[in-house]
Amino acid sequence: MILGIDEVGRGPWAGPLVVGAVVLGGVQIESLTDSKKLSKKRREELNLIIQSKASGIGLGWVFPDEIDEIGLSKALVLATKRAVEQVKTSYSEIIIDGTVNFLSGTTKGKYVTTLKKADLLIPSVSAASIVAKVARDNYMYKQDEIYPKYGFKDHVGYGTAKHIQAINDYGITPLHRLSIEPLSIYRNTKLETGSIKAEPVTSKDIGNIGEDAAAEHLKKLGHSIVARNWKTKLCEIDIISTKDETIYFTEVKYRKTANQGGGVSAITPSKLKKMKFAVEIYSIKNDVSRFKKILLGVAVTDSPPKVEDVLEVI
């Protein structure tokens, strides 16, 4: 019963830092290794297997504004603590990839072993690296839809030539870490609707922003995000998340102002029927038999968006 821990996103110029924490609990999963050595397709396949079979999973997110405020070292500690807090299953040992015990000074610190290349050697650490990598990449793919000129789907925030050129051409976004070089020159830049030279905000952008706010709210409630905008030709689910032994399927309704009406109440009987159908399809495609299933409606309002209401719709 080893709790494996690994981080993703230490070095990018933009986007969150994510720490994965996984207890496999004796489950044998073939092909587990360092997430960077796997193809995108194989990582996503293994992520689904890990999500369905692991005894416990946690994801700790620290976003750019927090990184800029407290620094990367403290952000790594904070993300690790957040990830471990989400793991409710029991474990007897903690192994962290690398040489730093990010849990030192906590009650769990004495149970930690640090190990270089643990993501290659210890299955639970490999699993942690995979779930963290897939979660962060999926988040950055969504940001690419909001900021299409920055190429986030290609470099996921790292300082590539394409990314550097985009910053030179269009400035920065709220995703950028201004505490690192060479972006510190932008620290006093005023951001408006996305970047210095913002793109027009479309209805799709608004929907994505609302879903981002809903996903962050669910994370604060202790949920682990499994998927965003999961879809087939027949159906779609905005957010799929887990907490304890429950899997949640969430429909997000976003209104620019609270007086527009709608919100969760906009989930009509017809929409509810479609949601139930989507849950059935997802359950067929993924082994979620050990989870209790709950459908949620999340109402998001205002600009910047905030969650107004979270309700179970069945």
3-state SS of the chain: helix, strand, coil percent to 5?
40, 25, 35
What DSSP state is assigned to residue 25? T
133, 238: one domain: no
Which CATH number is 272's domain given?
3.40.1350.10
- The more confidently predicted of residues 228 and 261 is 228
Confidence at 260, pLDDT banded by 50, 70, 90 = very low
The rounded mean pLDDT for the chain is: 87
Domain end: 112, 141, 170, which one? 141
Q: Residue 185: inside a domain, yes or no?
A: no
120, 241: one domain: no
Among 2-11, 171-180, 301-310, where is mean pLDDT lowest? 301-310
CA dihedral over 181, 187, 192, 197, signed as positive or negative: negative
Q: What is the pLDDT of residues 84-110, one digit of tens each?
A: 999 999 999 999 999 999 999 899 999
Confidence at 197, pLDDT banded by 50, 70, 90 = very low
CA dihedral over 129, 135, 136, 137, signed as positive or negative: positive
Provide mean pLDDT across the span 287-292: 89
Cis peptide before 64 (omega within 30 of 0): no
At position 241, the amino acid (one-letter code) is S
37, 126: one domain: yes
CB 40 within 8 A of CB 21: no
Q: What is the pLDDT of residues 108-166, one digit of tens each?
A: 999 999 999 999 999 999 999 999 999 999 999 999 999 999 999 999 999 998 999 99
Q: What is the pLDDT of residues 198-215, one digit of tens each?
A: 333 345 555 677 788 888
What DSSP state is assigned to residue 262? -
